[in-house]
Structure 1
Amino acid sequence: MRKSEALALALLLACSATQAQVYGLGRPATPAAIAAWDIDVAPDGAGLPNGRGSVTAGQAVYAAQCAACHGAQGEGKPADALVGGQGTLATPKPIKTIGSFWPHATTVFDFIRRAMPYQAPQSLSADEVYAVTAYLLHLNGIVPADAVLDATTLPQVRMPNRDGFIADARPDTASTPCVQCR
């Protein structure tokens, strides 16, 4: 969640807190409660936590936490493939993987951190997420086998399809409140 989104959420929750007093539901959101949900990472790396992880460490974490769904080498089955697909995006059957489709390495980290492993999202430490990200980028030929990623090095990784997306300057919302605070 970006800072502007956190502010919007805080305002919404403040409005809700007013309603909660009327109906006796909920409780005011504390800064600590909001911070616990503010874990998104922007494409430029804003929001990356402290920590670091190597390709070697990532291989072990991947084997323990990811291979059952994504295959021993990220080939997929039963879940999506994470490796391969380079050169297929302009074909009738594109294969969208980390190495062929994703525009930013930081969003790989963000997705793993928030949503994986499937059976226990957000259970990996920052070091484990950096390590799995490094391993997957290595399997896709994007970083070398001795790569170590952290909040400084991860945003510097240039993804093969980085220029395959068009920026959209429109905001996610019109920022118009749907509820009036009393």
Structure 2
Amino acid sequence: MTISKTRENLAGWLFVAPVVVILGLFMLAPILMALWVSLTDWNGQGSPFRGSVPFVGVDNYTRLFTEEGLARQDFMTSVRNNVYYVAIVVPLQTVLALGLALIVNSRLLKGRTFFRAAFFFPSVTSSVAISVVFLFVFANSGAVNALLGLFGIDGPQWFADSRGVLHLLLGSVGLVDPAAPPE
């Protein structure tokens, strides 16, 4: 393998590393933790990873499929709901969304612009809500300046400074020189 190919592979792994770490942390780790808890007799109090929590193996699964009771009833309800969702809801929503997209894109439809805007409107409203929260958090008397004040740091005027919010935030905690312009 040549040096340029090795550097190319390394660059590729560096680009995907954040996604791999985030997926591992927020998807794979909880799945593995849930699997571990399902193999123990954890009562829901304290940490399920203490040595005092008894390991029961597949006994929980054996009881789930062999004994009548609320646990089995709840499990079967969850299986039914998942099958309903996967087999009916997702395909119907996909077909409906594709059908609506084809109709809205059709030249025969009168008021196409209105319908396009109406379908896109929920995306815009969530962006507006996020913007309002952002403005509230970074206002001069907002949550970030209040939090920085707890540590004796005088927070900047986030929106009045031309250096940008991220540069100011990193500078306020000492990661970049707050007086230097952003690179």
- Give TM-score, length-normalised by structure 2: 0.22
Which is helix-richer, 1 or 2?
2
Larger radius of gyration: 2
Higher relative contact order (CA 8 A, sep 6+): 1
TM-score for the superposition, normalised by structure 1: 0.22
